[in-house]
Structure 1
């Protein structure tokens, strides 16, 4: 008749990766006195790429051949276990009529892997004599899905009146469909999360119903309960149809997709059972039966928070995107969890359902007619409030810079940040004439006046002794920063600067007030800004009206724009994703309303260095003072860069680049002498970002220009 498959599991790609990692591990033995026997495994291709990958991932002989050598009896046991494991890989791809053959060549003899004398044959081998093992699979016809049924869970009658079902005269029994990469056969359906618990990722999950008795045939299973009809959106999410290949991964994906869809419709306690699968060898089909229980449609109930020690709950509740009374949707709950985690003050944020379901008064629900509500609980683990960090960098033009920063991440209990930084600059360098400093205090208050709007304040003292000018200044800034949409960020503020500048023997004091306005766009979707981008666009535009009130009053406006884009060569089919990338950058700047000498030297435009044109020292591109290395600066600037980045094994990489740019004394970009630099460098990729070392040379070096430049830092240049 029919056989029963009670477990449906698919191969896990992560297991395949683990097998690959194990193959590169240092060999170990089984710890017994039985001498380890080296062996080599050959997998005979089936000409089905997915199936070959599943077989390779499932075979312990293959994954452990170099990392865990064993003695004769353990190796014979490993060979025997691979029959079931490889057969499970066949079944996971729908090949239920296939067979597995393992042949073992030990010395001059070739025997079958199931030969009872195999352990003795292996034990009789000479020292260091290698064994050759060949695994072959005959796939047979591929089974397809037959009847795909969805029913309610069957009613549980009294246990004494229900004998265990037994098939009558079965003609075939399908083995349990298991994960072919597992270490032992799976004997249960799927792991369940107990009521009131949350998985490690913090997402809320419903409590599954108790398992029902398994029928002997698909017809009996369908007759046990009532059929379930799916709405169009539910049917689309489910996706399974009769006639498609009986691939385990597709069936399990349909189970998860349908459950997710039901929960998104507000059925918080919905359940979709692990599918019951019934093999029909005569028709090469597999009948599938799912038990579906929608449960009540609910809204979000009372929201509670636990684990808060220094963070104010009122701040989190005001920020929370989730509202009591709205339709229960896991995607909304997870989005709210991620948003709270993004405040930067928590080591972890979890969320779970907090049953039992309660009934809300009509005035508290936002969904007319739905009064049942699922309470939600957020659990927090606060991160360290204070951190200390160090900064180091070096380039041959600006020299070395070292410093330290102290940050308080939750100053007043509302995720406010206070950062104190002290840097020593000008440690050598061809563009420097002595040591300088940069000390500043940053204060940031999130959600200022409205959610997603941050207040930032900085007080800074700076001294730098550049060849172009010597500057000592006190600067104060305050502004608002706001996210707009998914990729845009806009900011505006005010700035005041009191400074003394010496240039070419002339010392002047300036008091500058400005109102910088900025807009940035970034769709590279990187959570860590130091990580190298492999796709997308970054762009910025700034407009800064300024007034200089000392040493001759002048009004001027600084305009600048920058765009960079990244192209992954995987799109041309010549590289793996993220391994080979072409990065392009363009910069343009202009000063409107004043000439060069009407503008304080530090407000003029300069080029040279990693931010514009590598191969030229900082401020080394543009008009120079006579035939010296002193830069005057200008009122227009444009620059461009093209860079090729290649990842290598062992966390290494390299880059090659060409930069070009110019600075002019007119307000229109495109003026001045075009300077071109080129070079390359190496990268070492760490968990916090790539360490970068670049060497650049000028193609048309100006008088007194440097012959080469060396840059060292963390993260890519752009």
Structure 2
């Protein structure tokens, strides 16, 4: 590769900054003259150039222009190589004079026009494309083959893939041993022959903490779970870091591999930690036209006993100034102990008290749960516990008391790309809770499934279709034998927008309304991001309630529809939805919903 003119050392350019008078006037224009090539190459060259950015930003100081021009020789050369052009010529003319020929002590007082002229020459193709040796599991890199365009980025990708494959196979010190890159200009071909040195099969050594932490060192090692003695794996190293991050006790977690191998080709791992502030608090708010306002807050300690134990207290008051029921209040506390029963198995203790004044019932309850939480993969986790709660209820069936023992279990798979504003992926949450009422003797089980899917369309997923299905069922015990919050109702922001909260229940006759033992909910929402700040949505919700099974004689549907506005912030979109009832009983005109995050 060649360019016309002389190269200039950056040190002399810095000296020129002291000598030049700094009387620069406006830079009138920057012209790009590509003599050959296509639109894609022209775009790549423009994007690589610093001079174009100076023009866009209105920078005109001659020293800045000259500095950008000198840097552009290398940047444009890299862009040509990335496109497979190895015989190009680059000229950068400052008011007609080659930039590389301007003396550092003679920077002009004024620069009005810069011309970037590039003759890319022919696109080279691979004659030889070889990276070796490779492990058996390696897969060919697309485009790295004889006859394909000889892009430098393709060569780099092939080398990186080869090294990565060896590391995945346990050879942590794999590296490039040598390379032969020869360009044949008459034939416009390139020979790329890269030799790799896999190095020995490496095993994990010790985890070495390099700085102090408020979390005890033995607890850090237990949570991290570095498998000392096992074959090295980059994925395993990522999981070690993620285990420490998910505790919330650390602001940053950095793992680095030792430079030298130890006995038996073992490799120690250095760990650098920065502690997170131990305490945190927050609050939230949501409002609905009929359900009223909801205020919530929490207090959190990330390292309660020095072992990264997470203790959180939540409080919520809802139904404030609502028109369909009284106020609800709840207070709960949860303690999570990471790695209590193994690297990926935490223990937890949960306690709560709550008062609910709902349209269909009132209840006062308190109870607690002890259990374990298991992380199966980065996306799949679950928990199971033993729970007890005592409930006093008042509804159309009268005042009742329940003393419930249960085994709640939950499994969650989260494949969304963003929890608050997803555009791709899916989410599934499944719950089951076998129970026994010590007061009334009833046996049964409650199940719940929440499945969501997201698909983005257009540039940067500007359009997103979101779908949701909800399925709930109570089996064994009858409706009168379980607390009313075990049953299902339809209507409201969590099920069918456009209808008041719990506006659809099961009519037993004589004005007696209870919840159903079977519920099916379906939602579809089309979201459109108008700009970086605002978005819009259109949605349809449907809910089906059955007394004892999904489609029995007393079952009924609600269908609502509406539109929404989204205001995007750094913590997720602020949501305003306006909905109307379409069909089904319980409608009461226009409903408004405001919250943070998408509706689902």
Query: Structure 1 length as normaliser, TM-score?
Result: 0.71
Conservation of the 8 A alpha-carbon contact between 1:255 and 1:273: no
* 2:291 counterpart of 1:310: no
* Counterpart among 24, 31, 51 of residue 41 in structure 2: 51
Distance change >3 Å, CA 48–CA 631, structure 1 → 2: farther
Deviation at 1:627, TM superposition (A): 10
Pairing 1:474-489 to 2, within 5 Å after superposition: 474-485=366-377, 487-489=379-381
- Structure 2 distance, partners of 1:664, 1:432, is 23
Q: What whole-Å deviation, never above 9, does each CA across 1:598-639 have from its counterpart, x for those lacking one? A: 4332222111112211111110123469898x9532222222
Deviation at 1:485, TM superposition (A): 5.0
- Structure 2 distance, partners of 1:316, 1:77, is 49
Conservation of the 8 A alpha-carbon contact between 1:472 and 1:501: yes
Partner of 2:445: 557
* Counterpart among 374, 383, 390 of residue 491 in structure 1: 383
* Counterpart among 443, 453, 456 of residue 348 in structure 2: 456
* 2:280 counterpart of 1:387: yes
Partner of 1:568: 456
* Counterpart among 384, 407, 413 of residue 515 in structure 1: 407
| Cα-Cα RMSD | 3.8
Partner of 1:613: 496
- Structure 2 distance, partners of 1:422, 1:45, is 68
Partner of 1:65: helix, strand, or coil? helix
* Counterpart among 113, 124, 145 of residue 143 in structure 1: 124
**Structure 2 unaligned runs (5+)?**
3-19
Deviation at 1:467, TM superposition (A): 2.4
Distance change >3 Å, CA 40–CA 353, structure 1 → 2: closer
How many residues are treated as equivalent by the alignment? 578
Partner of 2:292: 399
Conservation of the 8 A alpha-carbon contact between 1:395 and 1:711: yes
* Counterpart among 203, 228, 231 of residue 299 in structure 1: 203
Conservation of the 8 A alpha-carbon contact between 2:331 and 2:353: yes
Distance change >3 Å, CA 414–CA 45, structure 1 → 2: farther
Partner of 1:532: 421
* Counterpart among 316, 333, 337 of residue 423 in structure 1: 316
Moved more, 597-606 or 381-390: 597-606
Partner of 1:64: helix, strand, or coil? helix
* 2:176 counterpart of 1:272: yes
* Counterpart among 262, 266, 277 of residue 358 in structure 1: 262
- Structure 2 distance, partners of 1:650, 1:395, is 26
* Counterpart among 229, 234, 238 of residue 334 in structure 1: 238
Pairing 1:38-437 to 2, within 5 Å after superposition: 38-39=28-29, 41=31, 48-70=38-60, 82=72, 85-100=75-90, 114=98, 137-146=118-127, 240-241=144-145, 243-272=147-176, 277-288=181-192, 290=194, 292-359=196-263, 371-433=264-326, 435-437=327-329
- Structure 1 distance, partners of 2:329, 2:408, is 24
**Structure 1 unaligned runs (5+)?**
4-29, 105-110, 126-130, 151-227, 360-370, 570-574
- Structure 1 distance, partners of 2:581, 2:342, is 49
Q: Higher strand proportion, which one?
A: 2
Partner of 2:41: helix, strand, or coil? helix
Partner of 2:461: helix, strand, or coil? coil
Distance change >3 Å, CA 293–CA 487, structure 1 → 2: closer
Query: Structure 2 length as normaliser, TM-score?
Result: 0.84
Q: What whole-Å deviation, never above 9, does each CA across 1:510-542 have from its counterpart, x for those lacking one? A: 323333233333333x4x63x323233323333
Deviation at 1:498, TM superposition (A): 1.8
Deviation at 1:711, TM superposition (A): 1.5
Conservation of the 8 A alpha-carbon contact between 1:540 and 1:562: yes
Distance change >3 Å, CA 324–CA 627, structure 1 → 2: same
- Structure 2 distance, partners of 1:584, 1:235, is 36
- Structure 2 distance, partners of 1:384, 1:483, is 25
